[in-house]
Chains A and B, each alone.
Chain A
Amino acid sequence: MMILLTGGASNGKSTFGESLCLQADGPRYYLAAMQPYGPEGEARIARHRKLREGKGFTTIERYTDYASLVLPARGTALLECIANLTANEMFDETGEMTDPVETVLAGVDALRAQCDRLIVITNDVGSDGCGYPPETEAYVKALGRINAALAARADTVCELVAGIPILLKGALPQ
Chain B
Amino acid sequence: MVLILGGVGAGKTAYARSLGYTDADFTSDVSDEKPVLCNLEALVRRDPDAADALFLPLLQKELVLCCEVGSGVIPLERTDRAYREAVGRLCVRLAKEASAVVRVVAGIPTALKGELPCALR
**Could you mark each residue 89-109 of chain B with 1 if its beta carbon is under 8 Å from any beta carbon of chain A, else 0?**
101101110000101000000
- In the complex, the answer to whether A9 meets B5 with C-beta atoms within 8 Å is no
User: Residue A114 at the B interface, CB < 8 A?
Assistant: no
Chain B residue at minimal CB-CB distance from A87: B74
**Could you mark each residue 123-164 of chain A with 1 if its beta carbon is under 8 Å from any beta carbon of chain B, else 0?**
011111110100010011000000000000000000001111
- In the complex, the answer to whether B81 meets A132 with C-beta atoms within 8 Å is no
Is the contact region of chain A dominated by helix, strand, or loop, or is it mixed? loop
With A10-B88, A128-B73 already in contact, the answer to whether A164 and B81 are too (CB < 8 A) is no
**Could you mark each residue 28-60 of chain A with 1 if its beta carbon is under 8 Å from any beta carbon of chain B, else 0?**
000000000000100000000000000000000
**Which of B78, B88, B94 contacts A9 (CB under 8 A)?**
B88
Chain A residue at minimal CB-CB distance from B3: A162
- In the complex, the answer to whether A130 meets B71 with C-beta atoms within 8 Å is no
- In the complex, the answer to whether B71 meets A162 with C-beta atoms within 8 Å is no
CB-defined contacts of B73 to chain A, threshold 8 Å? 125, 128, 130, 132, 136, 139-140
- In the complex, the answer to whether A10 meets B87 with C-beta atoms within 8 Å is yes
Cα(A9)–Cα(B107), bound, Å: 23
Cα(A164)–Cα(B91), bound, Å: 10
Cα(A163)–Cα(B89), bound, Å: 9
User: Residue A11 at the B interface, CB < 8 A?
Assistant: yes
**Which of A8, A124, A126, A164 contacts B112 (CB under 8 A)?**
A164
CB-defined contacts of B72 to chain A, threshold 8 Å? 8, 125-130
- In the complex, the answer to whether A8 meets B70 with C-beta atoms within 8 Å is yes
Cα(A129)–Cα(B49), bound, Å: 27
**Could you mark each residue 1-30 of chain B with 1 if its beta carbon is under 8 Å from any beta carbon of chain A, else 0?**
001010100000000000000000000000
A121 to chain B, nearest CB (A): 14
User: Residue B43 at the A interface, CB < 8 A?
Assistant: no
User: Residue B34 at the A interface, CB < 8 A?
Assistant: no
Cα(A12)–Cα(B87), bound, Å: 12
> 9 other contacts beyond A8-B68, A161-B101, with CB at 8 A cut-off?
A7-B70, A9-B85, A11-B88, A11-B92, A125-B73, A127-B71, A127-B72, A162-B5, A162-B95
**Which residues of B are in contact with A by a Cβ distance under 8 Å?**
3, 5, 7, 68-74, 78, 81, 84-89, 91-92, 94-96, 101, 103, 112-113
28 A-B pairs whose Cβ atoms sit less than 8 Å apart in the complex = A7-B70, A7-B71, A8-B84, A9-B84, A9-B85, A10-B70, A10-B84, A10-B88, A10-B89, A11-B70, A11-B88, A11-B91, A12-B92, A124-B70, A124-B71, A125-B72, A125-B73, A127-B72, A128-B71, A128-B72, A161-B68, A161-B103, A162-B5, A162-B92, A162-B95, A162-B112, A163-B91, A166-B112
